[in-house]
Amino acid sequence: MAYPVQLGFQDATSPIMEELLHFHDHTLMIVFLISSLVLYIILLMLTTKLTHTSTMDAQEVETIWTILPAIILIMIALPSLRILYMMDEINNPSLTVKTMGHQWYWSYEYTDYEDLSFDSYMIPTSELKPGELRLLEVDNRAVLPMEMTIRMLISSEDVLHSWAVPSLGLKTDAIPGRLNQTTLMSTRPGLFYGQCSEICGSNHSFMPIVLELVPLEYFEKWSASML
């Protein structure tokens, strides 16, 4: 999860988030080089009175500054499209979980099980135990197996919500009457926090998401205890 005065992204937990971090660094380096070049040219124009007359209307220069931005845009677009298609790909999920947004809590239904569903409410500040995080802890965590492809079906029963977990690279809108889907896979166990990322009313800030990713054997024991 994020920590105070953090400037970068959270540590990647899923392959998709790792790809997003690499793409961010790739694009940021291109932006840094362009900004440096523009700043250098501006400083050069402000600090010298020399003018090279033969470059003022040269066809070669115009060709370069037309083709070069096109090449840069292609260098950004191709990795971006690749990641977009990877995020939409769902191949034989091992588990399906239906998530419904409410004002102002989440409900989870494990559709592969006959009767495994629960609501997840934020724990009030007055009831927090030592070490628990304010506005982020819930009474029922969504327990999921790690290193397995999981399909999340996301919708809403009242207004627009958005189911987002930054460290997994997930952000999917919950829309009434529409079922959106996304896929997740964690490469390591742990607790992963998120929040509703769509302004959904007065208590929008009070509907956190907590995913507990555990090895498969622990998930099977948990699911058996919940049935």
Q: What is the pLDDT of residues 176-202, one digit of tens each?
A: 999 999 999 999 999 999 999 999 888
Counting beta carbons within 10 angstroms of the beta carbon of residue 107, is it exposed (0 to 12), middle (13 to 18) or buried (19 or more)? Answer: middle
Give the chain's residues under pLDDT 50.
none
Q: What is the pLDDT of residues 162-181, one digit of tens each?
A: 999 999 999 999 999 999 99
**pLDDT for residue 215:** 95
CA distances from 100 to 5, 52, 172 (A): 32, 65, 12
**pLDDT for residue 177:** 93
**pLDDT for residue 202:** 87
Left, alpha or beta for 92 (phi > 0: left; psi -120 to 50: alpha)?
Answer: left
pTM, rounded to two decimals = 0.84
**CA end-to-end distance (rounded Å), the chain:** 30
Rounded to 5 degrees, φ, ψ at 35 are -65, -40
Residue pair 144/219 in contact by the 8 Å Cβ criterion:
yes
**pLDDT for residue 97:** 96
| Cα–Cα distance, 167 to 111 (Å, whole number) | 25
Domain annotation for the chain: domains and CATH numbers: 13-86 (1.10.287.90), 93-224 (2.60.40.420)
**pLDDT for residue 57:** 66
| Cα–Cα distance, 204 to 198 (Å, whole number) | 8
**pLDDT for residue 164:** 95
Residue pair 213/144 in contact by the 8 Å Cβ criterion:
yes
Q: Among 209, 5, 186, which Cα is nearest to 102's?
A: 209
